[in-house]
Amino acid sequence: MRSFLTASALSLVMLAPAFAQTANAPVQLVPHRAVYDLSLARSGGSRGLDNARGRIAMEFGGNACDGYTLTYRQVTVLDGSETGSRTLDTRTATFETGDGQSMRFKSTSTGGGNDGVDGDAKLKPDGSLDVRFKQPRNASFAASGQPIFPTEHLKRLIEAARAGQTTLTVRVYDGSDDGKKVYETLGVIGHRIAPGAGDNLEEAIKQDGLAKVPRWPVTISYFTEGVGDRAPIYTISFELFENGISRALKLDYGDFALKGDLQSLQIQTATPCQR
């Protein structure tokens, strides 16, 4: 199972807490800690589940000068009448430079058949990717086609949303799984949601740091690179605030989908960028 990083996708130096960013301002992502409770949203197919539960805990920090850090853990318990109970525990730590040109990453996983990876990824001047691993040792990976890293992906999603674009197609390298894959992604961006709008917002969202921040519904589909007509291997949906915070998660793995409800959110004080 791919982790939600993407987290994919989702985390992520600071706008002044009470003010939304202007359309022409650089994207500023707020340092924060967030916890999401996971539950089963849908089950079907050959790996249908009777129940699922779990939690995502993540902490994002940094700025465009010093770079961005992310620590992330997802624990998921999957219960099936045929497969029994299985617990997946994924831990990831990353550092991305503020210019989006390099990333350090380390992840470990239990219950999913992956012992973990530890490596450094850099983009060369021609846009190609060069990855050198510490774990597994003496391993490397290279790819062409100008992939980007997760925080840069998040920034581009917000830029596209601000500009009123409805789609964003980019190639993303996040170091997940065995660390030897670049994913083709399609982001679909919905209509802007005004600050504070919406029913049944979590208490964690009702704080001054988000009172004037708009958000957009976003769905990102991940595809195996180089394969023709095909279904995504993984899809994540969420409401993305202009400062990088996310709510209303849905993680779709094909045969089943998980819902992520935001349980706690701590918006932290940013370290100003001195450049």
Tens digits of residue pLDDT in 233-250: 999 999 999 999 999 999
pTM (global) more than 0.85: yes
> 252 φ, ψ to 5°?
-110, 115
- Most confident among 112-121, 170-179, 199-208 (mean pLDDT): 170-179
Tens digits of residue pLDDT in 266-275: 999 877 777 6
Tens digits of residue pLDDT in 28-83: 899 999 999 999 999 876 667 889 999 999 999 999 999 999 999 999 999 987 77
For residues 265 and 203, what is the distance between their CA atoms, to the nearest angstrom?
A: 9
Contacts of 198 (CB under 8 A, 6+ apart): none
Which 8-state DSSP code applies to residue 203?
G
Amino acid 138: pLDDT: 83
For residues 239 and 250, what is the distance between their CA atoms, to the nearest angstrom?
A: 10
Half-sphere exposure of 6 (CA within 13 A, CB side): 31
